[in-house]
A = this chain, B = another copy of it.
Amino acid sequence: MKYFLTFSLLAGMALNIQSQDFYSTQRASWLRKAEANKPSLFETIKQPVGLVTIEEDSRAFQGWAVKPKSPVAELYKKSFKAQSGVVVDFGEHLTGYYSLTLKPIQGTSDAPLRLKLTFGEVPSELVTPFDPYPGTLSRAWLQDEIVTITELPATLTISRRLAFRYVKLELLGSSPFFDFAITGMSCKATTSAITQPAPLKEGTSNLIREIDRIGLATLKECMQTVYEDGPKRDQRLWIGDLYLEALANTYSFKNHELTRRCLYLLAGLSNKNGFLFSNVFETPEPHAQEGAPFLFDYSLLYNVSLKDYLVATHDKETALDLWPLAKKQIENATTYLTPEGIFDHTQAIKDRWWLFVDWNDKLDRQAAIHGIIIYSLKQTYELAKMLGKENELEHVPGLIKKFTAAARKNLYDKKAGVFVSGAERQVSYASQAWMVLSGVATQAEGQKALKQVMTLPDVVKPGAPYLYHYFIEALLQSGLKTEAKQLVSDYWGGMVNKGADTFWEVYDPSNEKTFAL
């Protein structure tokens, strides 16, 4: 989620000005509960399944095809000197700790070895030089390691956790006076997804089975001691990832302890002003990102996640414990309003709030955030009712009504049958999705708007799976099951057909090389 993070001390400082420290008494207790709910990681020792070659192939994903070459035993039984550059395939995406064993096979190890190990999730990473690095994030996210081994036999473990399926091994330095072999390797894979999800019902198509399988693999890899954004990059907890991953977890691995931990961790690290940080780190001790701007939509979605958690677990104790925080988050609903009663995104951006919604930076976010505000208000009110706290939200039904009316009046283009956003009256998937999910659109209007946006040219499409989720949900909520299934099959099925082992953070079917690195 980091692409859009405009570093801003100002926003953080503006929000820190308030003298009152909300939840100062609860925070330590919330953090203790976060710690108490930290799941044990399930460790599995994984072995590679074969050696492969990676070849140029214009029909393959990103132009690189993986071809089986030989069993791993071939690597282990011969001198490594003649095999430098070999690519080993673990057969599946793994998150964990990689180890390598080396032994002398002729002569005595009389000098150190220098090896380069490159770990890749997708084939292109093994054949595309990482340097010079054109990205704006840290080059250090890329998973290549140069190591010195001072004597043999040796077992080397790369100290940082890695996320990969393939590893390329290159020899950068060795002595001419002895020879050696790589005689073994493994990955100690970790996850907090332990239980086996229920099987899909009979008659489910192969494509949907594959989408499900890869979706579960993706979720499993992200489920560590928090719901991580990604096991390779941004190995931390963001509210948006908590929301979607916890939802998927409820239907699969059912590790509710992990969800509880994440809800508490975010709460325990809330700002003095009572609002939530968009993301938090677990180590060396739990902390949030100093000076990071507040992510408007994420803090609102926290409440939905808390409500989902309560529905899934009936754990009223936790929900009541966190209720004051949830109530606080929706105060933002009225922070920025235009005279027409619509979310004032231009002023929010001016004040350096971070409006995410989706990766696509062409998106005008007014309508989507307005929809998210209404959606969050409604879900928070549902949560209040379940907790017997609706008396604390007496103003909320009125707000929902007011915001809905304002949206219908200002954001709906009745003639075109679509919702629009901003001064340019932009039409996007995001706006339609959130106008449906928020209930601003009637069932008929929603159906029309969703169908329209999928056929209109020049609409702003989603930049990544995160927004596709909400669009699919809107299709389902509007009763467009067939369209929903078709879109899942096209978009996630597209990744399946391109050989994905886990679903990608960013995927644009028309531009495979836009890739989140």
Task: Enumerate chain A interface residues (CB-CB to B < 8 A).
Answer: 2, 5, 7, 106-108, 110-114, 133, 136-142, 145-146, 148-151, 153, 160, 172-177, 233-234, 236, 281, 283-284, 287-292
Docked complex Cα distance between A2 and B236 (Å): 49
A150, closest chain B residue (CB):
B160
- On whether A112 and B140 interact (CB within 8 A), knowing A7-B177, A177-B2, A290-B107, the answer reads yes
Q: Which residues of B contact A281 (CB under 8 A)?
A: 108, 110, 151
Q: Which residues of B contact A172 (CB under 8 A)?
A: 139-140
Check B112 against A141 for contact (C-beta < 8 Å): yes
- Please tell me which one of the listed residues B133, B142, B177, B292 contacts residue A5 in the complex, with CB atoms under 8 A apart: B177
Counting every copy of the chain, the complex holds 2
Q: Which of A146, A150, A177, A234 has the most CB of B within 10 A?
A: A177
- Please tell me which one of the listed residues B108, B146, B175, B236 contacts residue A138 in the complex, with CB atoms under 8 A apart: B175
Check B136 against A114 for contact (C-beta < 8 Å): no
A109, closest chain B residue (CB):
B281
Check B140 against A107 for contact (C-beta < 8 Å): no
Give the dominant DSSP class at A's interface: loop
Check A108 against B177 for contact (C-beta < 8 Å): no
Q: Which residues of B contact A288 (CB under 8 A)?
A: 108
Q: Which residues of B contact A7 (CB under 8 A)?
A: 107, 176-177
A146, closest chain B residue (CB):
B146
Q: Which residues of B contact A291 (CB under 8 A)?
A: 106-108
A158, closest chain B residue (CB):
B148
Check A140 against B160 for contact (C-beta < 8 Å): no
Docked complex Cα distance between A138 and B177 (Å): 9
- Please tell me which one of the listed residues B113, B133, B290 contacts residue A173 in the complex, with CB atoms under 8 A apart: B133
The list of the 10 closest CB pairs from A to B, nearest first, reads: A139-B173, A111-B138, A114-B140, A140-B173, A112-B140, A108-B289, A146-B146, A138-B175, A108-B290, A138-B173
Check A110 against B2 for contact (C-beta < 8 Å): yes
